[in-house]
Amino acid sequence: MAPMIGSKPKKPLSPSVTREDVYMPIPLYGFLEGDTLGLLVFAEEVETVQELARKLQDAANIRVARNDDLELLYNGKTVDLALTAAQAGLQPLDRFDVIRRHKV
């Protein structure tokens, strides 16, 4: 089965790998509407908020049915799904919520 979160690398990084090549995933507390607990989700700085929302949905899918019409809330505000995690300003160990989009 898939590891719970990324395992530590078994070997040291190659000397040719520069610091810029090493990304640091951002650990976040994700809460999906309809779920019974929060989950630890890692955001890549370059991935979009939409991808992050889907990641949480996949992680919680055993308890919550999939829904394509989603929005992501961070600090109580809706975040543009096209932004990257870095652009959205997500910081390690922050909370974000994924909810069903409110119909206007």
Partner 1 sequence: MLNRDEWLPLARKLDWDYTYVREDEVFPQVISGHPWLPHSEWKDWEESFKTSYREYVHNQYEKDMAVYAVRDAVGRLENIQKLAAPWLNSLKVHAAALPLAEFTGVIGSLRGARFGRDSAWRTMSTFGALDEYRHTQIPLLLFHQLVRWDSQFDWAHKFYHTNNWFAIAARHFFDELTLGQNAIEFAIGTNFVLETGFTNLQFVGLASLARESSDHMFERMVTSIQTDEARHAQIGHPVLEVLMKHDPEYVQYLLDKWFWRSWRTFSILTGVSTDYLTALEQRPYSFKEFMEEWIIDQYVRMLDEFGLKKPWYWNIFEDELDIYHHMIYASAYTYRATLWFDFVIPSPAERKWLRQKYPKYWDDMDAVWEQVIERWRTTGPGAANEFAVHGTVMPTFCDLCQLPLSGGSPRKNTANVLTRDGRKYIFCSEPCRWIFLREPERYANHKDLVKRVLSGEAPAEFTNLLTEYFRLTPDTWGKDVYHGAYDWLEAKKASVA
Task: Report the alpha-carbon distance of residue 60 to residue 66 in Å, rounded.
Answer: 9
Task: Report the alpha-carbon distance of residue 59 to residue 77 in Å, rounded.
Answer: 23
Query: Which of these segments, 13-21, 45-53, 62-70, 79-87, binds partner 1 (CB under 8 A)?
Result: 62-70
Query: Which of these segments, 1-9, 11-19, 43-51, 76-84, binds partner 1 (CB under 8 A)?
Result: 1-9
Q: C-beta of 56: minimal distance to partner 1 in Å?
A: 9
Of the candidates 45, 36, 100, which has an alpha carbon nearest to the alpha carbon of residue 72?
100
Task: Report the alpha-carbon distance of residue 45 to residue 88 in Å, rounded.
Answer: 9
When asked if residue 102 is in the footprint of partner 1 (CB under 8 A), the reply is: no
82 versus 89: smaller Cβ distance to partner 1: 89
- Interface residue with partner 1 among 44, 47, 50, 64 (CB under 8 A) is 64
When asked if residue 74 is in the footprint of partner 1 (CB under 8 A), the reply is: no
Q: How many Å from the N-terminal Cα to the C-terminal Cα in the chain? A: 41
When asked if residue 104 is in the footprint of partner 1 (CB under 8 A), the reply is: no
12 versus 15: smaller Cβ distance to partner 1: 12
Determine the 3-state secondary structure of 53 from DSSP.
helix
